[in-house]
Chains A and B, each alone.
Chain A
Amino acid sequence: MSADHRPELLRHAALLCAVDPGGLGAVLTRATHGGARDWLQFLREALPEGTPWRRLPSQVPDSRLLGGIDLGATLAAGRPIAERGLLAEADGGMLIIPQAERLGAETAARLAAVHDAAEVLLERDGLTHRLPARVGLILLDESATDQEAPPTALLDRLALIIDVDCRIAAEGISPEEIAAARALLPHVEIPDAAIAAICGAAAALGIASLRAPLFALRAARAAAALAGRLQAEAADLELAAALVLAPRATCMPIEQEPAPQPEPEQEPEATSDEQPTQLDSGQLADAILEAALASLPANLLANLAAGNNVQRGVAGRAGQMTRSLRRGRPSGTRAGPLSPGARLNLVATLRAAVPWQALRRHEAAKDTPKILVRRGDFRIQRFKEQMGTTTIFVVDASGSAALGRLAEAKGAVELLLAECYLRRDQVAVIAFRGRVAEVLLPPTGSLVRAKRALAGLPGGGGTPLASALEAATGLALGEQRRGRTPVLLLLTDGRANVARDGQGGRQRAEADALVAGQAFAKLQLPAMLVDTSPRPQPEARRIAEAMRARYLPLPAADSQRLQRAAQSMIER
């Protein structure tokens, strides 16, 4: 599908959502554009009259999201009455989640659990309830930089990923058509060859999660139902590939990928049966792949073609926010004793005490105070603390010494992370070589993730120090915005030879690097330049001065010393 088909593609995406909201769900990327508002408006109009439509407020407490006790109604009725949360309210309809990139891991996990079960399992405030909540989630990814992305737990569970870079085609649809498609949906068949073809296409595009092919099948069913078909056809599968598989692609398909054939023993009759249409799974897989590739945004395609492993839409925040009793953003309350430093949440405490008043008064002596508060009622305010540090390793992967330097940096990262748990610190790695700097490891506290990202680092080539410093400054700014304290550790011999624009030339390269260093200095962050050349270099010292970084010549930098150096800065 070429660029002029995109409005039509957006329209199809909205229609699929309208046909099977709970089964599909969508992520709108670049949702800051007006395109997102139009798309949502279109969807809302396509949905049957009276379909619930809710918006998730930011920092939503569990009581609002999942429900809890309705105190007023409970007291009035004299028996416990549950208050429905947003998810239960949205049952059968849609829940819109703005600024999805800022969603915390905890909220994401709650949404994911409800989405999986299609019901809310409530175990709160003395209540146990199961409430139906088959909800279509629409995530609005409004992230400003590539460093941010909605939580992976949710990205993996929503079928359609839609880049709303343009306006949706305006042609509306009648409620009857949607109703007819919904009625048809449970009866749409998918030929077995199509399952193999979708799986093959997903594998060829480097999509690891098995949810993606399943969602593609669901989307194809919805597409067939919309077209009034009882069996999904190639066109339906192609549409599904464009909306579900293509945006998740992490690599270009390898040429001459053998056409995936379903295992003969798994389906004894499928091959012998005469198929009504062309459905040969190999051909079908090719067609699906082609449709997927055709719908890729140009920049993603270029990236994939260049062999870059595209992480966008796959990466997510590691969500290492910690709960604290003392500082940070307010985040719920918990029952607990009034220990020193804990802050009582008076309203929550009174709420906890209210239902028991009749009981307590009955037991207490006369002349009791108006409200009887007991120790068990105390509700302590909790806060979300985001005070951890993020150590950003910027590693020179150029030249001949690159491999050793990378290996030691990698070792240091893992040593730091191995000790990280208690402090909840995070680590990120930027490597630079050739013409560009690239974020190899987005900030994470997970050793598993670090190992995966740092496996098999390439080395060699020119030294684009200026680009590296710019990338580091960008990453550090992003971390600051998340309320974390970035700390920078630059490993290089300081001999820049690739300028900002990617051109060679030692002099310009060094000048650019100094400018980039000064820009970094404005952030006033703790930083250290570890000079790894056999003999300390004046260039490296100059860069360190520009960055206002500590300069540490460490010709034989091993991972333990690097880790100690990083540690000393974190503790400063």
Chain B
Amino acid sequence: MSRTLFPFSAIVGQDEMKLALLMVAVDPAIGGVLVFGDRGTGKSTAVRALAALLPPMRAVVGCRYHCDPASVSTFCDECRERHGAAPMEVEIRPVPVVDLPLSATEDRVVGALDLERALTTGQKVFEPGLLARANRGFLYIDEVNLLEDYLVDLLLDVAATGESVVEREGISVRHPARFVLVGSGNPEEGELRPQLLDRFGLSVEVRTPGDLPTRIEVVRRRDAFERDPARLVAAWEKQDVETRERLLAAQASLGQTIVPDTVLEQAAKLCVALGTDGLRGELTLMRAARALAALEGVPEATTKHLRQAAPSALRHRLRRNPLDESVAAVRVERALAELGLT
């Protein structure tokens, strides 16, 4: 369970991917990250490394959904009942980063009756699934483009409402399931369903680094980790601690970070220019710019943040135009330039 994880700071390059993960950690409302790209570029390494980096969270003691004691509106039914009756005990626990394996069956994803208790004591007790475990944290799906359609449907439902509803053996359970969806995959295995693609707030592309010194450094660090994980972790601990503190500060200041009207207007113009469907693009862009400002420790998002957030917030929302040769990111850049936002 507690395998040593590759340190986040020791990942060579891949800045866009690392930044996107930090952005959603600052503001989960951005809505998840899709990491698509070449094999062996450390996609899953980065996601798992993030788990070790995340500052711990406050949660209600004994709650199976680790409800946030400060947010009554997102309480599960049990916490709501207990609330007010007695003061709630609070514990500090790690933010969950839950793996959803492709082979998972539906009952483990949404939860089902506890088989053990049913067999031993004949009791009907709901046993929460992966979605419950991921509440307030991250749900990670590697090779997300290979996920079974019926599991995708299920995720889409839950992602839309923020809660999971389970009806089994005459019991009915409704519980909060708000999580940041992180998916990774290789586009050569096939495309992602458009509905699912749309649910990801940010989308980043990762490439194998081409220049030799970088490649050597990647191999060197990976090799060092495989030889002696503890040593590499120790060597990078300082940087990881710094990043964690930056995250904490950004989470704390996010509420006060302002996105001025001028930046909102620019965001709207950019989305119109790119023809991104729906409002989600604009919203994501705004939140992403704000998260970037918070990560930088400045009180106000600027055009710079907007520009920095635009490729990952919009590249997967562009209409596919096969006759336009350029990569999505280039189209975003072009639109930025045309609007004078560079």
Residues of A within 8 A of B191 (CB): 421, 445-447
Looking across the interface, which residue of chain B has its beta carbon closest to that of A106?
B146
The reply to whether B223 and A217 form a contact with Cβ atoms under 8 Å apart is: yes
- Stretch of B111-119, B234-242, B245-253 lying at the A interface: B111-119
The reply to whether A260 and B101 form a contact with Cβ atoms under 8 Å apart is: no
Residues of A within 8 A of B106 (CB): 334-335
The reply to whether B208 and A208 form a contact with Cβ atoms under 8 Å apart is: yes
Residues of B within 8 A of A262 (CB): 213, 216
- How many Å lie between the Cα of A359 and that of B171 in the bound state? 13
Residues of A within 8 A of B149 (CB): 323
Looking across the interface, which residue of chain B has its beta carbon closest to that of A356?
B118
Looking across the interface, which residue of chain B has its beta carbon closest to that of A121?
B101
- How many Å lie between the Cα of A316 and that of B100 in the bound state? 25
Residues of B within 8 A of A334 (CB): 105-106, 148, 150
Residues of A within 8 A of B44 (CB): 116
Looking across the interface, which residue of chain A has its beta carbon closest to that of B187?
A448
Residues of A within 8 A of B83 (CB): none
Residues of B within 8 A of A275 (CB): none
The reply to whether B38 and A105 form a contact with Cβ atoms under 8 Å apart is: no
User: Which of B38, B116, B208, B219 has the largest count of A CB atoms less than 10 A from its CB?
Assistant: B219
The reply to whether A123 and B103 form a contact with Cβ atoms under 8 Å apart is: yes
Q: A209-B38, A335-B107 are in contact. Are A263 and B323 (CB under 8 A)?
A: no
Check: A411 CB closer than 8 A to any chain B CB: yes
Residues of A within 8 A of B231 (CB): none
User: Which of A80, A336, A417 has the largest count of B CB atoms less than 10 A from its CB?
Assistant: A80
- Contacting A at CB under 8 A, from B28-47, are 38-41, 44
Residue in contact with A211 in the complex, picked from B40, B120, B187, CB distance below 8 Å:
B40
Residues of A within 8 A of B104 (CB): 123-124
The reply to whether A79 and B116 form a contact with Cβ atoms under 8 Å apart is: yes
Q: A199-B216, A210-B208 are in contact. Are A362 and B146 (CB under 8 A)?
A: no
Residues of A within 8 A of B226 (CB): 214, 218
Residues of A within 8 A of B320 (CB): 418, 447
The reply to whether A319 and B216 form a contact with Cβ atoms under 8 Å apart is: no
Residues of B within 8 A of A447 (CB): 191, 320, 322
Residue in contact with B103 in the complex, picked from A62, A196, A448, CB distance below 8 Å:
A62
Residues of A within 8 A of B108 (CB): 123-128
- How many Å lie between the Cα of A362 and that of B119 in the bound state? 12
Residue in contact with A217 in the complex, picked from B118, B168, B219, CB distance below 8 Å:
B219
Residues of B within 8 A of A123 (CB): 100-101, 103-105, 108-109, 130
Check: A430 CB closer than 8 A to any chain B CB: no
Residues of B within 8 A of A355 (CB): 115, 118-119
Chain B's interface size range is 35 or more
Residues of B within 8 A of A446 (CB): 187-191
Residue in contact with B322 in the complex, picked from A127, A336, A418, CB distance below 8 Å:
A418
Check: A559 CB closer than 8 A to any chain B CB: yes
Against A, the Cβ 8 Å flags (1 = close, 0 = not) of B318-329 are 001111010000
Shortest CB distance B235–A (Å): 13
Q: A260-B212, A318-B190, A415-B322 are in contact. Are A80 and B115 (CB under 8 A)?
A: yes
- How many Å lie between the Cα of A74 and that of B103 in the bound state? 21
- Contacting B at CB under 8 A, from A257-272, are 260, 262-263, 266
Looking across the interface, which residue of chain B has its beta carbon closest to that of A352?
B107
Residues of B within 8 A of A127 (CB): 108, 115
Question: Besides the contacts A125-B108, A263-B216, what 7 more A-B pairs have beta carbons closer than 8 Å?
Answer: A109-B102, A210-B209, A210-B222, A266-B217, A318-B188, A335-B107, A336-B150
14 pairs across A/B with beta carbons < 8 Å?
A79-B116, A126-B107, A152-B188, A156-B39, A195-B220, A210-B209, A210-B215, A211-B40, A213-B215, A260-B216, A263-B217, A319-B190, A359-B124, A363-B170
Which B residues are closer than 8 A to A by beta carbons?
1, 38-41, 44, 99-109, 112-116, 118-120, 122, 124, 127, 130, 142-143, 146, 148-150, 167-170, 186-191, 193-194, 208-209, 212-213, 215-220, 222-223, 226, 320-323, 325
Which A residues are closer than 8 A to B by beta carbons?
62, 65-66, 69, 74, 78-80, 105-106, 109-110, 112-113, 116, 121-128, 130, 152-153, 156, 190, 192, 195-196, 198-200, 202-203, 208-211, 213-214, 217-218, 260, 262-263, 266, 316, 318-320, 323, 334-336, 355-356, 358-360, 362-363, 374, 376, 411, 414-415, 417-418, 421, 444-449, 451, 559
